[in-house]
Amino acid sequence: AANMQIAIDGPASAGKSTVAKLVAKKLNYVYCDTGAMYRAVTFAALQRKVALDNDQALKEMLTDFDLKFVPADPEQLVLVNGQDITRQIRSTEVTNQVSLVSAQPSVRQEMTKRQQEIAASGAIVMDGRDIGTTVLPDAEVKIFLIASVHERAVRRYKENVKKGMATDLAVLEQEIKARDYKDSHREISPLTQAQDAVLVDTTSLNIDEVVEKILKIINQHE
Ligand code: C5P
């Protein structure tokens, strides 16, 4: 089938966005990074001094929250009310607080609605935590991407080194574990593998091997 919905979920730093982007490119589909949406909400709340656990205040904030993804090279831009926050949403501050914001009911409700609108006409690869379970329960292909905590921390560590950032591997492991725990234990649509999702363990695979594996799973569906 053409114009499929492809859902890629999994824990933090499992390589979802890298792989989802490449799969989308191969299929000529749109790629949607739902984690970037929750990160953008978190950054806006910090900037506007809205308490990160105040559901009602966040709900109000989202009535004035024009979020846009703008295609660009090498990375699409994330704009909120016209402000380019592409880089800021990857900060340690946002990363370590996003799980609190993403657990708030009105934030989940509003982002889920926007994600369903983006995916409505298909031909989309969407990555996140609850795409296969909640956002797109009828997606034609669902992948659950995992890797060991150690492997994910090592990948993040290498990325940081490339960016010239010195980080501590043990600290990265702790941060990844803490975020996974919060995302898996929240009340509304926690991180969990959908019943009909295919589990792909990337611990001993490189990016090309993972992309190939997923393209095979997609082809089997057609
Ligand atoms: O994918 P990424 O690590 O950028 O996601 C950032 C955070 O956004 C996650 O840790 C989680 O709290 C939240 N998230 C979510 N549901 C999604 C995608 C991300 O709750 N579908």
From the annotation, which residues make up the binding site for ATP? 10-18
Each residue's pLDDT, cut to its tens digit, for the chain (222 residues) gives 689 999 999 999 999 999 999 999 999 999 999 999 999 999 999 999 999 999 999 999 999 999 999 999 888 999 999 999 999 999 999 999 999 999 999 999 999 999 999 999 999 999 999 999 999 999 999 999 999 999 999 999 998 899 898 899 999 999 999 999 999 999 999 999 999 999 999 999 999 999 999 999 999 987
Interface predicted TM-score (ipTM) of this complex, two decimals: 0.99
Contact 70, 54 (CB under 8 A): no
CA of 55 relative to ligand 1 center, distance in Å: 17
Q: Using CA atoms, how far apart are residues 39 and 134, in angstroms rounded to an integer?
A: 19
Ligand 1 in reach of 130 Cβ (< 6 A): yes
Beta-bridge partner residues of 83: 80
User: β-strand 67-70 against 77-80: which pairing, if any?
Assistant: antiparallel
Ligand 1 in reach of 132 Cβ (< 6 A): no
Closest CA to 155 of 7, 8, 10, 6: 10
Ligand 1 in reach of 179 Cβ (< 6 A): yes
CA of 11 relative to ligand 1 center, distance in Å: 9
Ligand 1 nearest atom to the CA of residue 130, by list position: 21
From the annotation, which residues make up the binding site? 10-18
Q: How many CB atoms lie within 10 A of CB 39?
A: 23
